[in-house]
Amino acid sequence: MIWIALKMLTGDRAKYLGIVFGVAFASLLISHQISIFISIMARTTYLMRNVQEGEVWVMDPNVRQVDEVMGMSDDDLHRVRGVEGVAWAVKLYRGSVRARLAEGNGDGAHGDFRGVILIGLDDSTLIGAPRKMLLGRVEDLNKPDAVIIDEAGYHYLFPGQPHRLGQVVEMTDRRAEIVGICEVGQPFQSQPIVYTKYDRAMGYSPPERRQLSYIVVEPAPGVSPKELADRIHRETGLQARTRDEFKWMTIDFYLKNTGIPFNFGITVLIGFIVGVAIAGQTLYLFTIENLKQFGALKAMGTSNTRIVGMITVQGLLVGLIGYGLGVGGTALFFVLTQNSIPLKGFHMVWQVMLLTAGVVGVIVVLASLLSIRKVLVLEPAVVFR
């Protein structure tokens, strides 16, 4: 019976390909948009992903997400270091400044201004420095006026130019020489990321009374990050979060205060509706055209359960093929764009594949139900009419 069901399905090549196309399109649209959405949300947590040392982040109580920086005083660092269970605690600066492209850097640098994200690392330990250097070394930050820039930011500031050290920019009328190019997770706003030492960052950034952005803390052996975060909050009154808590707090802010989830949700919903409409309508028309064949099977004694099984097999086949083509197309897109600077870090996780499989399963079930209902009420005598 399964062989008969497959022969009936593939007998009309146009309708068969139409059903497969509908499921494949829905699968492609859903998996692609969900993957883009997850990648964008991951970009909002770039700072916690790039600073891999320290399990606890301490900040002003009013901070709601990583880019909403509110300065603390240097005394807060000493207070945090005095909390029991702290192995070490270091300063971290995160600020937004304007970089002026100095003359003499070659094509594409003519004194224009560009907004950059400035990261100030602890002067003595350089904790939070990028792990993957493409050119130069992290230790080169000890040189005068030295900064390290991320690869995407380098191409943004110096478009079309090959990687070269020694390029010069000016921030707050102070000279900064690029001594290294690194590869790090990209920020939400796709701005260049510039690393330097903390005290030097204070000179590059606009003067403020409180400039300490974050305190990165490592728990002592035997102390859990959550326990230490709660202890720091009780004793200092500052907001203390574990790395994962801070990530989800940032993601939650963007989910609640931007239209990103709504817009992507609409696109995913459209993919689902299109999949159900195309696959359901085509499978229904296919069933209508084969009513005499189903009637003949009923006249020969085939039970409704077996006929339902035949339609289910047909739906599963087009679902599997369409799902494979759709998810495969999404995977191919990310493979082809993995070296693209604007799409750096965009990828598809295995959870998206499972979620897409579940949605495709629902599409196939709904499409099959339309056909099953028509066959169940079919009279075997239709074959003699």
Residue 107 pLDDT level (bands cut at 50, 70, 90) = low
Name 290's Cβ contacts closer than 8 Å, sequence gap at least 6. Answer: 8
> Highest mean pLDDT range out of 189-193, 199-203, 309-313?
199-203
pLDDT at 2: 62
* Residue ranges of domains in the chain: 2-43+259-384, 73-237
pLDDT of residue 343 exceeding 60, the answer is yes
Q: Take residue 186 and report the two structure tokens written for it.
A: 């990209």
pLDDT at 130: 92
Residue 364 pLDDT level (bands cut at 50, 70, 90) = confident
- pTM for the model: 0.82
Q: Which segment of 134-138, 222-226, 316-320, 372-376 scores lowest on mean pLDDT? A: 372-376
What is the Cα gyration radius of the chain?
A: 29
* 78: nearest Cα among 58, 94, 64: 58
Interaxial angle between packed helices 13-43 and 304-336, expressed in degrees from 0 to 180 and rounded to the nearest 10: 50
Q: What angle do CA 321, 5, 293 make, to 5 degrees?
A: 140
Name 126's Cβ contacts closer than 8 Å, sequence gap at least 6. Answer: 138, 139, 141, 197
Type and span of the H or E element at 204: helix 198-204
pLDDT of residue 342 exceeding 80, the answer is no
Digit-coded pLDDT (tens) for 163-189: 889 888 888 888 899 999 999 988 888
pLDDT at 35: 92
Digit-coded pLDDT (tens) for 146-158: 999 999 889 888 8
Q: What angle do CA 78, 200, 212 make, to 5 degrees?
A: 35
Taking the C-alpha atoms of residue 168 and residue 103, their distance in angstroms, rounded to an integer, is 8
pLDDT at 381: 53
Q: Give the mean model confidence (pLDDT) for residues 84-110.
A: 79
Digit-coded pLDDT (tens) for 249-305: 999 999 999 888 898 888 888 888 887 777 767 766 766 666 666 666 666 666 667
Task: Let me know if 163 is exposed, middle or buried by CB neighbors in 10 A (0-12, 13-18, 19+).
Answer: middle
Which amino acid, residue 195? Y
Distances (CA, A) of 47 to 50, 161, 244, 247, 383: 5, 27, 12, 9, 69
Residue 159 pLDDT level (bands cut at 50, 70, 90) = confident
Q: What angle do CA 120, 123, 127 make, to 5 degrees?
A: 70
* 94: nearest Cα among 137, 135, 124, 128: 128
135 in Cβ contact with 210 (< 8 Å): no
* 182: nearest Cα among 144, 138, 141: 138
**More confident site: 14 or 52:** 52
> For the chain, percent helix, then strand, then coil, each to nearest 5?
55, 20, 30
Give the number of residues written for the chain: 385
Name 123's Cβ contacts closer than 8 Å, sequence gap at least 6. Answer: 197, 198, 199
**More confident site: 112 or 118:** 118
Q: How many CB atoms lie within 10 A of CB 111?
A: 10
pLDDT at 134: 92
What percentage of the chain has pLDDT greater than the value 70?
Answer: 84
Residue 4 pLDDT level (bands cut at 50, 70, 90) = low
Taking the C-alpha atoms of residue 142 and residue 148, their distance in angstroms, rounded to an integer, is 11
Q: Give the mean model confidence (pLDDT) for residues 293-319.
A: 72
* 195: nearest Cα among 211, 183, 209: 183
Taking the C-alpha atoms of residue 385 and residue 383, their distance in angstroms, rounded to an integer, is 6
> What is the pLDDT of the chain when averaged over all its residues?
84
